[in-house]
Copies of this chain bind each other. A is one copy, B any other.
Amino acid sequence: MKIEEEIKQKQFKSEYHKAMVNIIFTYNWLIKNQVEVLEPYGITLQQFNILRILRGQYPKPSTIKLIKERMLDRMSDCSRIVEKLRAKKLVERHLCVKDRRNVDVLITKKGLALLKKLDKIFEKSDKNLIALSDKELKTFNKLLDKLRRKNLKIKNRDYLNTADRLNNSTHKRQLNHKHLYNFF
């Protein structure tokens, strides 16, 4: 549906402006779908994404640090999310003997089985979700990549570890917008 109808706005002041709204609207539309699919299975989007990261490493365990990096996000709550997954018996945690600062996180059989089930669900729901042909998808991806040519002053990567974070204290709590997930 055209974005103008979706949000009941007669017209935008420019194609540029329309593109901004369109990205935001489409993002919400997309996330909403994912969340609704996950809801009956009792896990959140964040938990789901961590499970997929763990599967990506399986049978190798992942440290909290590795998970954080894959989430491409500051994700200070990573420890706590992993703890919730552990409470559901979807992951195991072991102290790493080589470097006792690390915690090895491993997805369990139960976790793998859940992902397998969800794969099928998503395959079905996703197939009809993004309604573009393969050729259109390519154009679309190219445009998105080009769109972001200009780098932001503060890059995501600057915040990947505590040290960097502490060196930059110019900003206060304002970033209420965390959904930088890594799908794979």
List residues of chain B with CB within 8 A of the CB of A116: none
List residues of chain B with CB within 8 A of the CB of A138: 15
- How far, in whole Å, are A154 and B23 apart by their CA atoms in the complex? 20
Q: Are A126 and B27 in contact (CB under 8 A)?
A: no
Q: Mark A117-155, 1 if CB is under 8 A from B, else 0.
A: 000000000101111101011111101111111111110
Q: Are A184 and B13 in contact (CB under 8 A)?
A: yes
Q: Are A3 and B147 in contact (CB under 8 A)?
A: no
Check if A180 is an interface residue, CB within 8 A of chain B: yes
Check if A179 is an interface residue, CB within 8 A of chain B: yes
- Tell me the residues in window 7-32 of chain A with beta carbons closer than 8 Å to chain B beta carbons: 7, 9, 12-13, 15-32
Q: Are B140 and A132 in contact (CB under 8 A)?
A: no
Q: Are A29 and B140 in contact (CB under 8 A)?
A: no
Check if A171 is an interface residue, CB within 8 A of chain B: yes
Q: Mark A173-184, 1 if CB is under 8 A from B, else 0.
A: 011111111111
Q: A138-B15, A144-B3, A147-B140 are in contact. Are A174 and B39 (CB under 8 A)?
A: yes
Interface residues contributed by chain A, number (CB under 8 Å): 74
- How far, in whole Å, are A183 and B103 apart by their CA atoms in the complex? 44
List residues of chain B with CB within 8 A of the CB of A156: 28, 32
Q: Contact partner of A29 among B38, B148, B176, CB < 8 A? A: B148
Q: Are B23 and A23 in contact (CB under 8 A)?
A: yes
Q: Contact partner of A24 among B12, B27, B172, CB < 8 A? A: B27
Give the residue name and chain of the B residue nearest to A3 (CB): B145
Check if A45 is an interface residue, CB within 8 A of chain B: yes
Q: Are B1 and A149 in contact (CB under 8 A)?
A: yes
